[in-house]
């Protein structure tokens, strides 16, 4: 517990620094060590890229024990705090979820509001905030300043689910901040206006997903910093980019005459 406690304190300090932090999304010890060697201050583990790496599928279709073993190996392979994407919690009560994450060495976690294990049901905003609050209490009871990154898919789900997706996302991230999230993750933002509105809604870091080469729809790293973004991760985009580049380069060797 001492090690994960220290890592959680490091991750919490990064979120409280006021600076923009980039936490590249990794999926195994190779990608984790590669990112660590570049000089990042922390890492995120993505459920999507891990599922692809172990031959499973995203959407809470992995065995959670298998996933946590990947998290454990990653956390043990680098001298950095590691945050794990746990989707909506894999059907676990918040206290059990936090206990198992801490045991695996995770210093933080993404917790989202789409319950894939229940037919992609979207949690009511208060229900999701209550889940975040219970997870916060469990971490606090363990004496660990665990970094909960409260995720909402409101913008991604769009007008078919919510009459005003951006307003819904704003309400949800405010509730998650009040529930004890140390950062919030409204996925699906594509413009500077969207980013600005949600950054202004809360006082804690807002996480956006960026492509490691192409950046974000709102702009590059410098633009995101100017917009007030304070946390950036890659989701599955780094792994997807490596797949694309590798496919292009390896195709020659598979068929030089192509």
What are the φ/ψ torsions at residue 44 (nearest 5 degrees)?
Answer: -115, 150
Angle at 174 between CA 49 and CA 125, to 5 degrees: 70
Domains, the chain: 2-254 (3.20.20.60)
pTM higher than 0.75:
yes
User: What is the pLDDT tens value at each position of the chain, 258 positions in all?
Assistant: 459 999 999 999 999 999 999 999 999 999 999 999 999 999 999 999 999 999 999 999 999 999 999 999 999 999 999 999 999 999 999 999 999 999 999 999 999 999 999 999 999 999 999 999 999 999 999 999 999 999 999 999 999 999 999 999 999 999 999 999 999 999 999 999 999 999 999 999 999 999 999 999 999 999 999 999 999 999 999 999 999 999 999 998 998 776
Question: Which residue spans within the chain are E strands per DSSP?
Answer: 21-22, 25-26, 43-45, 82-85, 108-111, 114-115, 121-122, 147-152, 183-186, 207-209, 231-233
Measured distance CA(82)–CA(45) in Å, rounded:
7
């Amino acid at each position: 517990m001492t090690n994960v406690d220290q890592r959680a304190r490091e991750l919490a300090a990064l979120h409280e620094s006021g600076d923009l932090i980039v936490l590249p999304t990794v999926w195994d010890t190779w990608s984790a060590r590669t990112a660590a060697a570049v000089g990042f201050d922390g890492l995120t583990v993505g459920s999507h890229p891990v599922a692809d790496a172990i031959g499973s599928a995203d959407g809470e279709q992995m065995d959670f024990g298998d996933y946590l073993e990947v998290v454990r190996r990653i956390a043990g392979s680098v001298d950095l705090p590691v945050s794990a994407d746990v989707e909506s919690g894999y059907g676990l009560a918040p206290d059990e979820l936090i206990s198992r994450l801490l045991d695996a060495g995770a210093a933080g976690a993404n917790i989202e509001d789409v319950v894939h294990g229940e037919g992609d049901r979207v949690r009511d905003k208060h229900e999701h905030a209550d889940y975040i609050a219970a997870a916060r209490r469990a971490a606090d009871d363990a004496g660990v300043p665990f970094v909960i990154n409260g995720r909402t898919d409101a913008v991604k789900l769009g007008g078919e689910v919510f009459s005003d997706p951006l307003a819904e996302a704003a309400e949800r991230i405010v509730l998650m901040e009040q529930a004890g999230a140390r950062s919030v993750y409204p996925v699906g933002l594509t413009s500077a206006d969207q980013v600005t509105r949600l950054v202004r809604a809360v006082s804690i870091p807002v996480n956006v997903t960026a492509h490691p080469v192409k950046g974000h729809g709102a702009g590059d790293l410098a633009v995101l910093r100017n917009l007030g973004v304070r946390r950036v991760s890659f989701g599955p985009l780094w792994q997807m980019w490596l797949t694309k580049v590798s496919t292009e380069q390896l195709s020659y060797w598979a068929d030089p005459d192509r």
